[in-house]
Amino acid sequence: MHMQPELLQEARRQAEICNACRYCEGYCSVFPALHAERAFADGDLTQLANLCHNCRGCYYACQYTAPHEFALNLPAALAEVRQDSWQAHAWPRGFARLFDRAGLAMMVLLVLGFAGLFALSQMLRPESGHGFYAYMSHGVMVAIFVPAFFLPLCALAVSLRAFWRTVGGGAVTLSALVQALQSAGQMRNLKGGHGDGCNFEAEDRFSHARRHCHQAVLVGFLLCFAATGSATLMHYLFGLEAPYGPLSLPKLLGVPGGILLCCGAAGMVWLKLRADRTLGAVAYWGGEMAFVLLLFLVAASGLVLWAATGTSAVAVLLPLHLGAVLSFFLLTPYSKMAHGFYRMAALLRDALRKDPGMR
């Protein structure tokens, strides 16, 4: 995997200065891992970059930022390496670079294109069916979305395998896996060095808003996934076909999940608009925003579609929602969605570093 050497060199320069200073030692998981090294190979920098959650507390606390001659901006340096590492390890590689360059345009074109195809497919609607299946048969949906779900996961698996080799990951222990899952679930690295929150929005404001938005998205996504899984089991194991009532398990899981996804994604958009872009990967800001907007569209269109069930609006809303979902699935290995998988791998690699059983 070939990453851009100039990005790695700049991150190495800044990491070496940080290693000599050590003022930010307790800020997040990056600094104990950084201070454990004496020299930084490319794999070490890739690991640190993906371990960084871009909370920016270290930047605002640093005495060596511009106009100092060292001109440190560690959050931006690691963000650039992190983004480049996703591109370098993505499979196929070209799709990631394309999304980063024109993420918003690519998202709009895919959603509208797929929505148009789903709208045209209604001409072949089944003669009988209830709810959504009156507009598109269950078999057609399965034939489209099963491959669209599993193929991106296969692409992610290939990418993560290459990433794991790059960062020097080895055999996984149960204790390290539990530790990594706990850190990811609690969003521990977004709490700030002293637990007061991070400085993502502004220098003098400590806030848990970003952590809460991420948690809302995570829980909302898991609830929506559980809703889909429960509907699949009800359909195939118990012969209970959709549509399902408001008190059914798919609805009790999916509606709150959709609301949480909407709130979390909207909060992320608001925070990103307020934050200083120069403390992240500036060139990729548009691609990151496109992903968050797509996440919001998936959840919002699903909720509106649910509310419009039984009306003629379903004929328009269903293709839009399915187009958004299909775009989301297909773009997962190449959009910001991939960061959750890479960050989980980085947290696991860091847990292995600290695991006494691996020493």
Query: How many whole angstroms from its chain centre is CA 228?
Result: 19
Q: What DSSP state is assigned to residue 134?
A: G
* CB-based contact 44:34 (threshold 8 Å): no
Residues 6+ apart with CB under 8 A from 36: 353
pLDDT per residue, tens digit, the chain (359 aa), is 678 899 999 999 999 999 999 898 878 899 999 999 889 999 999 999 999 999 888 898 899 999 999 999 999 999 999 999 999 999 887 777 777 777 788 889 999 999 998 888 877 666 666 667 777 777 788 889 999 999 999 999 999 999 999 999 989 999 999 999 999 988 888 887 667 788 887 776 788 899 999 999 999 999 999 999 998 899 888 888 777 888 899 999 999 999 999 999 999 999 999 899 999 999 889 888 999 999 999 999 999 998 988 888 988 999 999 999 999 999 999 888 899 999 999 999 999 998 755 54
Report yes or no: 124 and 118 within 8 Å, Cβ to Cβ. no
Give the list of residues 6+ apart from residue 248 with CB closer than 8 angstroms, or none: 234
Q: Tell me, what amino acid is at 322? A: L
CA-angle at 31, arms to 26 and 37, nearest 5°: 135
CA distances from 58 to 48, 186, 256, 279 (A): 14, 20, 36, 11
Residue located via tokens 């200065």: 17
Q: Are 84 and 3 a contacting pair, CB within 8 Å?
A: yes
- Label residue 333 exposed, middle or buried (CB < 10 Å: 0-12, 13-18, 19+): buried
State the pLDDT at residue 26.
79
- Cis peptide bond prior to 67, omega within 30° of 0: yes
List, in sequence order, every residue forming a beta bridge with 207; answer none if it has no partner. Answer: 198
Whether the Cβ atoms of residue 103 and residue 290 lie closer than 8 Å to each other? yes
Per-residue pLDDT at 131? 65
Side-chain-facing half-sphere of 339: CA atoms under 13 Å:
20
**CA distances, 305 to each of 132, 137, 296, 297 (Å):** 10, 17, 14, 12
Q: What angle do CA 169, 170, 175 make, to 5 degrees?
A: 100
CA distances from 66 to 119, 130, 199, 219, 224 (A): 54, 63, 18, 39, 45
Identify the pLDDT of residue 217: 95
Burial class (CB in 10 A: 0-12, 13-18, 19+), 6: exposed
**Which residues are within 8 A (CB) of 212 and not within 5 positions of it... i.e. 6 or more apart?**
267
User: Tell me, what's the pLDDT at 188?
Assistant: 86
Identify how many contiguous H helices and E strands the chain contains and give both numbers.
Answer: 14, 2
Among 251, 184, 195, residue whose Cα is nearest residue 217:
184
pLDDT of residue 301: 95
